[in-house]
Amino acid sequence: MNRIFATKAGSDVYRLRIPWRPFSNDAAPLLSSQNAGNPEKGSEAKQYDIAIVGGGMVGLALACSLASRPLTRHLNVAIIDSNPALGGKHFIKKEDLPDPRVSTITPATISFFKDIGAWQFVEQHRHAYFDKMQVWDYTGLSYAKYNARDADKEVLGCVVENKVLLSSLLSRVQETVLPKKIYPSRLNSMSILPNSSSSEVDSTLSMTALFTHGRLAKLELEDGNSLYAKLVVGADGGKSRVRELAGFRTTGWNYSQNAIICTVEHDVENHCAWQRFLPSGPLALLPIGDKFSNIVWTLSPKESSEFKSITEDNFLKAVNHALDYGYGPHPTPSILGSSDLFSWLKGGQGVNLGFGDASTLSSVISEGIAVGTDIGEVSLLKKYEADRKPANVMMMAVLDGFQKAYSVDFGPLNILRAAAFHGAHHISPLKKSIISYASGEMRLPLFA
């Protein structure tokens, strides 16, 4: 999952920490006692306002968002990522088969992409809007069907290949006037000195002095480059190096689930997103355009292992069988064949949350600049946390609730689930609230 973490450089919050803290698993050889006293020794370091660690979809979206705002487009930004695709134009051939790695983009994210000028590039490539969605469970007792018209919307979402999103964001950020530099490397270490004083520090001081006063963070890269930044943003995925080096604690648990993702071809165009909840996890069939659909099938590790040795024909039969059962309409079981090999991944992707994080963080930074606040000030970053934490916690709670509710096959519980689907399908206010929440408006489904 692509997420954003903001790390403060220079705040009273660090006063209780040890006098000097290098955020590195191997800090001793990287930062000797001689280098600690002279941060600029070695390769010539450069100073930036913001260092974005992670040049994936979320990191580039943040850069685009900063470039689109009048008060932040002047900020000097470093983007750190070893992905070679960031080194130039990424050409996507129209005749290429769809990549199985896709994202379902919500209307809120589409609006965000339009605001930052990136959606025009997405529309130049394959993508598929959908205005209908059907969800049902493995018992087949009931189903819920959603239509964009039920919530006065044009679409429920758009399915886009991840490579298209990345290429579009890169194209957009390359044409902006935002002062930026891409470092094709990985973050090795990060160090922040405690804020030595609560009084104002002259911003014209050297990088060494600003680092010593705790006003800058120092980042060491694997290629030997080093740089300083007022604000470090971690947009480097679920196994974030920034989070690891900064010592941010997380709580999580293993669902013991794997996901098969692949692309299939229909004999007719698919305009509906289908999702069936099975005991092992959900099976989704998402339109991708040009008579293709994307499959995301969550299975137990044992089941997914068995599918590794299955033939393509038998896999397609299994997909059709899993979808063609139960009460209500079903997708036409006429899948012709897989257009790509299977990919075996763990977990899912909450990239819409990441895009929401990027939008909010750039907005908060802009608001801070407007009133003369340092972009790394803790009070400013707390506004970002207050805005995004509820949205993230709620989404995690909803997804965790679904997983737990469908992992139990119990008669009375099955009936309750069927009743819930029935209500979601027939009670208009409830249906509208669910659609609004799923569209990215971040309102509680039951109390909107």
* Residue 221, H or E segment: strand 217-221
177-197 residue pLDDT tens: 999 999 999 999 998 777 655
Q: Which domain holds residue 330?
A: 129-160+254-348+397-439
Rounded to an integer, what distance in angstroms lies between the CA atom of residue 324 and that of residue 328?
A: 10
Q: What is the pLDDT of residue 36?
A: 32
Secondary-structure percent of the chain, ordered helix, strand, coil, rounded to 5: 40, 25, 40
383-415 residue pLDDT tens: 999 999 888 887 777 777 767 766 666 667 767
Q: What is the pLDDT of residue 203?
A: 61
Q: What average pLDDT does the segment 201-215 reach?
A: 63
C-alpha gyration radius of the chain: 24
Rounded to an integer, what distance in angstroms lies between the CA atom of residue 24 and that of residue 246?
A: 9
Q: How confident is the model at residue 5 (pLDDT cuts 50, 70, 90)?
A: low
Q: What is the pLDDT of residue 95?
A: 82
Q: How many domains does the chain have?
A: 1
Q: What is the pLDDT of residue 328?
A: 56
Rounded to an integer, what distance in angstroms lies between the CA atom of residue 439 and that of residue 161?
A: 19
Q: What is the pLDDT of residue 399?
A: 74
Higher-confidence position of 216 and 409: 216
Q: Is residue 147 part of a domain?
A: yes
39-74 residue pLDDT tens: 344 457 899 999 999 999 999 999 999 999 999 999
Judged against a pLDDT cut of 60, whether residue 26 lies above it is answered with no
Higher-confidence position of 12 and 328: 328
Higher-confidence position of 444 and 360: 360
Which position has the token pair 């069988």?
A: 321
Sign of CA dihedral 423, 426, 428, 433: positive
Q: Is residue 51 part of a domain?
A: no
Higher-confidence position of 202 and 142: 142
Residue 290's CATH number: 3.30.9.10
Q: Is residue 166 part of a domain?
A: no
Residue type, 242: V
220-238 residue pLDDT tens: 999 999 999 999 999 998 8
Q: Is residue 259 part of a domain?
A: yes
Judged against a pLDDT cut of 80, whether residue 124 lies above it is answered with yes
Q: Is residue 174 part of a domain?
A: no
Residue type, 254: N
Higher-confidence position of 194 and 316: 316
The DSSP code for 98 is P
Q: What is the pLDDT of residue 33?
A: 29
Burial of 433 (0-12, 13-18, 19+ CB in 10 A): buried
Q: Is residue 142 part of a domain?
A: yes
Q: What average pLDDT does the segment 81-87 reach?
A: 89
Judged against a pLDDT cut of 80, whether residue 285 lies above it is answered with yes
Q: What is the pLDDT of residue 323?
A: 81
Q: Is residue 329 part of a domain?
A: yes
Q: Is residue 91 part of a domain?
A: no
Q: What average pLDDT does the segment 281-286 reach?
A: 89
Q: What average pLDDT does the segment 300-311 reach?
A: 85
Q: What is the pLDDT of residue 27?
A: 34
